[in-house]
Amino acid sequence: MLLQRLALCSRIPLDSRRHVCWLLTRPLSQVPQGRAHGSSFAHRGELRQAKRIVVKLGSAVVTRGDECGLALGRLASIVEQVAMLQNQGREMMIVTSGAVAFGKQRLRHEILLSQSVRQALHSGHNQLKDMSLPLLEARACAAAGQSGLMALYEAMFTQYSTCTAQVLVTNLDFHDDQKRQNLNSTLQELLRMNIVPIVNTNDAVVPPPEPNSDLQGVISIKDNDSLAARLAVEMKADLLIALSDVEGLYNSPPGTDDAKLIDIFYPGDQQSITYGTKSRVGLGGMEAKVKAALWALQGGTSVVIANGTHPKVTGHVITDIVEGKKVGTFFSEIKPAGPTVEQQTEMARSTGRTLASLQPDQRSEIICHLAELLTERKEEILAANKMDMDLAVSAGHLPPPMLKRLSLSSAKLNSLAIGLRQIAVAAQDSVGRVLRRTRVAQNLELEQITVPIGVLLVIFEARPDCLPQVSALAIASGNALLLKGGKEAANTNRILHQLTQEALSMHGVKEAVQLVSTREEVEDLCRLDKMIDLIIPRGSSQLVRNIQRAAKGIPVLGHSEGICHVYVDVDASVDKVIKIVRDSKCDYPAACNAMETLLIHREILRTPLFDQIIDMLRTERVKIHAGPQFASYLTFSPSEASSLRTEYGDLECCLEVVDSMQEAVDHIHKYGSSHTDVIITENEDKAEQFLQQLDSACVFWNSSSRFADGYRFGLGAEVGISTARIHARGPVGLEGLLTTKWVLRGDGHTAADFSEHGTMKYLHENLPVGQPLAGQRDSN
């Protein structure tokens, strides 16, 4: 009956059962080939290569909050992840707690049942008196719980066609050479047969741990942390994942004001850690976990300590760790020479506050100096860029549009310098500008003023010219800046960042702009929600979509697609049509503001204007994809468009036919991306309707879509084009990197002064807006 209950409790949810087929049919091309054991992985990204993995489940992970019984939902999720990795071809081992808790639940049930039967027989009726439970001895609970725990694991793993085997050990099994060899041989054979060994200390017979009982260079098995470490080293495991009820290792007890999660822990950092109390259950605390982790690390096994109880991450914690994601604390023997990305962000924020407090002319001086450096040191910049270009061409993985973006020239650098000087002028009245001034009451004045957003994270691909542009805008707006560039432009980005910091040094704010050069994944950067205030992606639509999905609690400014339309109305001028369509599509096809769909009024078909449009596109080598309506008019049509929502980014476009201006607007609303859309017509009424009805960031009349650009708008430069509905929209320049705060200057005023029985009255008078003078007060 008990086993039937266990099988019933261990049934996996429906979604998980559907996942089984995917697990079993997942290709094994991702299976690591293993590595020579002896040194641990140096970086998280290398964890993908882990072949043999030990997963340690702490008592707090396995047991319920009341410590009586198992947390079945968490266990089901853990089993699913382990089975998935096992079915990929990895060798998985589990070191588990839970026998005591399972046995305690079982024994309490049996004792209550026994007491109730005895009381019923003694009293002669079914009315039960208050029953107290005796204190249960841990070894007895372990003896009663081991078989049930194993039956539960077996039932769960069976759902994924995965076989398990139970292995009970004690300290003596590791200290006795013959027993250790037998244990090793048994585990090796189980792994060879694709069986998951489930290992636990034989708590029914194991003696209490003796303090300070470690032998020279050997860790003694006092708890499952030390057991997992000893087992991982003995079996030459690549990775040990220790799951507990905390996110990882903190520099001080979790919950304290200054506690910070440590992303990567190095053996030399032990003195900087203050340990708290141990977990609510189990034998070891965090100190024991760190000691076991360092011992395993010394033995050549990489270690990650992470939270296995958090409901939002439990379903992926093990697989996320194996995929190299920033989860928990990673133990590494190799300490990088430079600061971590968290330290870089803290330095940027701290120095950014100093940058924001500089006088406007000081920020302008920094930007002008950077503009000068771009032209004075152009030979260094172009030499670094040539290295990147040569590497990209030899690798052969960049398409022509991206190679064009990667390339710099003297003309491009001169153009950049001109744009930076425009930003320097705009910086004079950006931060601290008064937008609204109100006299709330006598001697009580309220102001709304512009202030920096804080710390910006700008992620860009193979476009190094983005670095000085964005840096100048951040400096002008008083924002700290974290830059993550594509590896394709690593050499160019490095020299441009050095020049940026050289310019910043003239006023002592060198660290306000940081270039992330560590092996940080973009997804990991997007999780720094307590350190970064705004993310700005610059690159492909796929990059923007990935960042929008990965950002956790951080606003993302940008657009995922640039599906721009040009509508040719029946009243359009022939000359304007040819000029605008050619420029919109052919000037820079890879740009996000290039035309992707050409909408033509039905009455233009079979006219000389239509023939001229087609001839021009053919001359420019533009491949045409016919929309469904256009294809219906043709006997032999071009290749039909697979989708009307395609951003080609090349000399290709979709051509579709509409019956009216209103139908064009409806088409754009349905298939567009709210980026930039154009109408070509001489009919002013139609044009005004188009401009008013269309809900896009940029709407143009008789102008090329290529005008949707910060430089052409006179912004000096842009950090990107936003299609969002809030904060900033369209080309985002200096103004889009500012927010506001309210400043109230009073003279001992309180809210009670304005109550029903107070002596003051609200005035709410709007005052002239301008730059506030230091110490200026109303004399009335």
CA distances from 698 to 10, 676, 691, 713 (A): 56, 5, 9, 11
pLDDT of 362 > 90? The answer is: yes
pLDDT of 3 > 70? The answer is: no
Quote the pLDDT of residue 532. 94
Q: Where does 396-533 show beta strands of DSSP type E?
A: 434-441, 444-452, 455-460, 480-484, 513-515
Quote the pLDDT of residue 193. 95
pLDDT one-digit tens code per residue, 224-272: 888 899 999 999 999 999 998 888 888 888 777 778 888 888 887 776 6
Quote the pLDDT of residue 591. 86
Quote the pLDDT of residue 730. 87
Most confident of 29-38, 669-678, 728-737: 669-678
What is the chain's percent helix, strand, coil content, to nearest 5?
Answer: 45, 15, 40
Confidence of residue 409 (pLDDT cuts 50, 70, 90): very high
Share of the chain above pLDDT 70, in %: 84
Quote the pLDDT of residue 284. 53
Confidence of residue 275 (pLDDT cuts 50, 70, 90): low
Quote the tokens at residue 423. Answer: 């930003």
CA distances from 528 to 221, 320, 321, 620 (A): 37, 17, 17, 46
Confidence of residue 4 (pLDDT cuts 50, 70, 90): very low
Quote the pLDDT of residue 45. 86
Which 3 state secondary structure label does DSSP give 442? coil
pLDDT of 129 > 70? The answer is: no
Stretch 288-298: mean pLDDT = 90
Calculate Rg over the CA atoms of the chain. 34
Quote the pLDDT of residue 429. 87
Owner of token pair 């920033």: 326
Ranking 117-126, 155-164, 194-203, 556-565 by mean pLDDT, the lowest is 117-126
Ranking 4-13, 302-311, 626-635 by mean pLDDT, the lowest is 4-13
Quote the tokens at residue 352. Answer: 């950014």
Which residues, in sequence order, are CB contacts of 358 under 8 Å at separation 6+?
Answer: 478, 507, 509
Which residues, in sequence order, are CB contacts of 259 under 8 Å at separation 6+?
Answer: 250, 251, 252, 253
Quote the pLDDT of residue 559. 75
| Spatial CA neighbour of 769 closest among 493, 522, 463, 448 | 448
Stretch 531-549: mean pLDDT = 85
Share of the chain above pLDDT 90, in %: 51
pLDDT of 303 > 60? The answer is: yes
Quote the tokens at residue 263. Answer: 């992303």
The DSSP element (H or E) to which 304 belongs, if any, is strand 302-307
The DSSP element (H or E) to which 586 belongs, if any, is helix 574-586
Confidence of residue 35 (pLDDT cuts 50, 70, 90): low
**Long-range CB contacts (within 8 A, 24+) of 428-431:** 428/360, 428/361, 428/364, 429/360, 429/771, 430/360, 430/476, 430/477, 430/478, 430/734, 430/735, 430/738, 431/356, 431/360, 431/363, 431/477, 431/478, 431/738
Higher pLDDT, 90 or 207: 90
The per-residue pLDDT of the chain, averaged, comes to: 84
The 8-class DSSP code of residue 70 comes to: B
pLDDT of 358 > 80? The answer is: yes
pLDDT of 306 > 60? The answer is: yes
Which residues, in sequence order, are CB contacts of 206 under 8 Å at separation 6+?
Answer: 139, 170, 171
Higher pLDDT, 326 or 655: 655
pLDDT of 779 > 90? The answer is: no
Confidence of residue 740 (pLDDT cuts 50, 70, 90): very high
**Rounded distance between C-alpha atoms, residue 139 and residue 559, angstroms:** 61
Quote the tokens at residue 102. Answer: 């399972």
Quote the pLDDT of residue 240. 96
Confidence of residue 100 (pLDDT cuts 50, 70, 90): confident
Q: 140-154: buried (b, 16+ CB within 10 Å) or exposed (e) per residue?
A: ebbbbbbbbbbbbbb
538: which strand partners?
Answer: 460
Which residues, in sequence order, are CB contacts of 400 under 8 Å at separation 6+?
Answer: none
**Rounded distance between C-alpha atoms, residue 169 and residue 206, angstroms:** 9
pLDDT of 602 > 60? The answer is: yes
Q: Where does 485-639 show beta strands of DSSP type E?
A: 513-515, 534-538, 564-568, 595-601, 623-626
**Rounded distance between C-alpha atoms, residue 369 and residue 361, angstroms:** 12
Confidence of residue 718 (pLDDT cuts 50, 70, 90): confident
Quote the pLDDT of residue 637. 67
Which residues, in sequence order, are CB contacts of 158 under 8 Å at separation 6+?
Answer: none
* 6, 74 Cβ separation under 8 angstroms: no
The 8-class DSSP code of residue 161 comes to: T
Quote the tokens at residue 367. Answer: 């930007």
The 8-class DSSP code of residue 737 comes to: G
* 608, 595 Cβ separation under 8 angstroms: no
| Spatial CA neighbour of 188 closest among 232, 235, 153, 147 | 235
Q: How far is CA 111 from the centre of its chain?
A: 51
* 428, 450 Cβ separation under 8 angstroms: no
Quote the pLDDT of residue 425. 92
Confidence of residue 775 (pLDDT cuts 50, 70, 90): very low
Which 3 state secondary structure label does DSSP give 776? coil
Q: 630-667: buried (b, 16+ CB within 10 Å) or exposed (e) per residue?
A: bbeeeeeeeeebeebebbbbebbbbbbbbeebebbbeb
Most confident of 132-141, 223-232, 305-314, 764-773: 223-232
pLDDT one-digit tens code per residue, 469-487: 999 999 999 999 999 998 8
Looking at residue 743, its amino acid is: V
Quote the pLDDT of residue 107. 75
The DSSP element (H or E) to which 331 belongs, if any, is strand 329-331
pLDDT one-digit tens code per residue, 36-90: 556 889 888 899 999 999 999 987 888 777 666 678 888 899 999 999 999 999 9
**Rounded distance between C-alpha atoms, residue 584 and residue 616, angstroms:** 13
User: Phi and psi at residue 174, in whole multiples of 5°?
Assistant: -100, -30
Quote the pLDDT of residue 445. 92
What DSSP assignment string belongs to 49-63?
Answer: G--EEEEEE-HHHHB
pLDDT one-digit tens code per residue, 314-345: 568 999 999 988 889 999 988 777 788 888 99
Confidence of residue 717 (pLDDT cuts 50, 70, 90): confident
Q: Where does 224-285 show beta strands of DSSP type E?
A: 239-244, 264-265
The number of CA neighbours under 13 Å toward the Cβ of 243 is 30
Quote the tokens at residue 7. Answer: 């099988």
